[in-house]
């Protein structure tokens, strides 16, 4: 009975939903950015797999189904962008320049650090697209000879750190413009950061979602120049 349960895709799906629900509840109760629901869910899922010695393949049978919804969920951000199209028309040049600068800064810093510490090309290719959404990042890494699992981890860590630190960084640098705040969050921490931007404000969420797409295109173009 237990083996049949573990082999079913419903196991991975149910565990993921339950872990994220607990993370969300804990985040609402403690009201601190450090209790990110995604981070809590990851820790809970890993804990269950390790404690009960459940093979990752058994969990991933359902996890892969959840991953299928990643691209459509990212595309849904276009709804918020469309609702703020007037702002997009007004600030199209700063949005383009800001997104390009964010992508260039992210990739240049990663490339410089990888060269400084003598990492091999495969690791460099895996880490370069860390600040764009997972589907784009994996495509860039694999086309450049990188390793998709490392890229996924780098993207997740970057997104979680962005979601946790974004409110504090906005206050620290005194950013008052919601367009600038949203673009900064989306450019450095993609969809996970955008979830926090939506909480901060409607304009911030829309601009962060826009930055995901623009920075994704910019990162693809810049990666062609590096490899």
> For the residues of 184-204, what is the DSSP string, one character each?
HHHHHHHHHHHHHHHHH-HHH
- The DSSP call for residue 94 is H
pLDDT in tens, 216-227: 888 888 888 776
Q: Are 80 and 206 in contact (CB under 8 A)?
A: yes
pLDDT in tens, 94-121: 888 888 898 899 999 999 999 999 989 8
Residue 4 above 70 pLDDT?
no
Instruction: Please report where in the chains the tokens 């404690």 appear, as a residue.
Output: 51
Helix ranges, 34-147 (H): 37-51, 56-67, 70-75, 77-83, 85-90, 92-116, 121-127, 134-143
DSSP string, 124-153: HHHHTTTTS-HHHHHHHHHHTT--HHHHHH
Q: What is the pTM of this model?
A: 0.78
Q: Distance between CA 26 and CA 24 in Å, rounded?
A: 5
Q: Distance between CA 2 and CA 190 in Å, rounded?
A: 38
Residue 139 above 80 pLDDT?
yes
Q: Distance between CA 200 and CA 178 in Å, rounded?
A: 9
- As a whole-number percent, the residues of the chain with pLDDT over 70 amount to 94
């Amino acid at each position: 009975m237990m083996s049949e349960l573990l082999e079913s895709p419903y196991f991975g799906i149910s565990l993921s939903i339950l872990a994220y629900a607990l993370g969300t509840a804990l985040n609402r109760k403690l009201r601190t950015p450090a209790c990110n629901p995604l981070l809590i869910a990851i820790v809970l899922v890993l804990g269950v797999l390790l404690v009960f010695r459940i093979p990752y393949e058994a969990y991933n049978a359902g996890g892969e189904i959840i991953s299928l919804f990643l691209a459509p969920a990212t595309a849904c951000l276009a709804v918020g962008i469309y609702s703020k199209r007037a702002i997009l028309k007004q600030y199209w040049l700063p949005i383009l320049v800001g997104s390009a600068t964010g992508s260039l800064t992210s990739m240049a810093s990663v490339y410089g650090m990888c060269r400084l510490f003598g990492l091999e090309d495969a690791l460099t290719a895996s880490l370069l697209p860390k600040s764009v959404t997972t589907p784009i990042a994996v495509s860039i890494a694999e086309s450049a000879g990188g390793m998709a699992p490392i890229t996924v981890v780098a993207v997740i860590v970057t997104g979680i750190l962005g979601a946790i630190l974004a409110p504090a960084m906005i206050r620290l640098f005194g950013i008052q413009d919601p367009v600038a705040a949203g673009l900064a969050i989306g450019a450095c921490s993609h969809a996970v950061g955008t979830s926090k931007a939506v909480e901060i404000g409607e304009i911030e969420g829309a601009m962060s979602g826009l930055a995901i797409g623009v920075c994704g295109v910019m990162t693809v173009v810049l990666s062609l120049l590096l490899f």
